[in-house]
Every structure is written in C-alpha cells, then in structure tokens.
C-alpha cells in the first residue's frame, strides 16, 4: 500500500522512534516513592485512607472508636472541633504538622505577626491582625506600627 510518503518501509524509516512514556514514568514514580518528603508521606497516607470507609473508621462503640474520637476532638475556650467524623486519623494530623514544618509555616507565621513584609505582591506587611486587634490590647512586638496605622486609617 502506497502512502503520500511512499511505502510503509520508507515511512518507518522517517518515523520518530516510539517514546516509552510509561517506562519513564514508572521509573520516575519509583524514584519518588524512595525519596521521603512530608508531602509524599501525606499523599501515600491519603491514598490509604481513601480505601477505608468512614463507617469503618468511626467503628461504632468499640474501644478503638472511642479512643479515636477522643484523640480527634479538641476544645479551645468555647470552640470545639471534632474531626472524628472525617476520614482522618491521628497519623494524618501528625503528617500535616510535619508538612507544615517542612514548608516553614512557623517562621512565616512569626513574620506575619511581627509585621514583616509578607505581602509580596504589595511589598508590605499584611494588616489582617492589625485590622482586628482590640483597641485596649497591646499588640505583639513588631506589630505596633501596623496597629497604629490601621487604627488611624480605619474609623471605628
């Protein structure tokens, strides 16, 4: 059979060799599995949790279910947070904390509360806390100027 480029033999000479995407992906995927990062661990844990039903996690009135419920319920003043009705485990929380630490959330939070320039698009500090800071309370060190600016700029 003739094609515009000639017979099949000529065409096969002109054709680009097959690209083995599947093999390359599986090699890269295997490499990623061997390298531990908090995000990889969290993704692997999420895949494991997806295979479990929520009813299996909740588990009725068993001792394990009561323990899980106690481990996933938190109170801070009038705020109560019950994560036991979600597809989450204490290990999930631990992995989320590991991931947050690896992303530098703690230092970013400190910078935010210290009034450092964290709003990179506007090259200034974020004024979220300053805008909501109670007038009678002393702001944290480094945030005084932001609180003063907001209190002058925004009428009560």
**What is the pLDDT at residue 133?**
82
**What is the pLDDT at residue 153?**
63
Distance CA 31, CA 126 (A): 39
List pLDDT tens digits, range 25-69. 455 555 555 578 999 999 999 999 999 888 888 887 889 888 999
**What is the pLDDT at residue 8?**
44
CB 111 within 8 A of CB 127: no
CB 114 within 8 A of CB 142: yes
Residues ≥6 apart with Cβ < 8 Å to 89: 49, 57, 68, 72
144 pLDDT band, cuts 50/70/90, is confident
């Amino acid at each position: 059979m003739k094609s515009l480029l000639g017979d099949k033999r000529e065409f096969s000479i002109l054709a680009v060799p097959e690209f083995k995407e599947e093999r390359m992906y599986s090699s890269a995927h295997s490499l990623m599995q061997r390298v531990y990062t908090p995000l990889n661990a969290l993704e692997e844990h999420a895949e494991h949790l997806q295979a479990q039903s929520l009813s299996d996690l909740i588990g009725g009135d068993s001792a394990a279910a009561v323990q899980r419920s106690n481990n996933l319920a938190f109170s801070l003043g009038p705020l109560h947070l019950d994560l036991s009705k979600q597809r989450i485990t204490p290990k999930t929380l631990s992995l989320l904390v590991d991931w947050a630490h690896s992303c530098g959330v703690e230092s970013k939070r400190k910078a935010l509360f210290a009034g450092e320039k964290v709003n990179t698009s506007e090259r200034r500090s974020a004024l979220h806390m300053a805008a909501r800071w109670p007038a009678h309370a002393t702001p944290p060190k480094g945030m005084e100027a932001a609180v003063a600016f907001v209190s002058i700029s925004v009428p009560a």
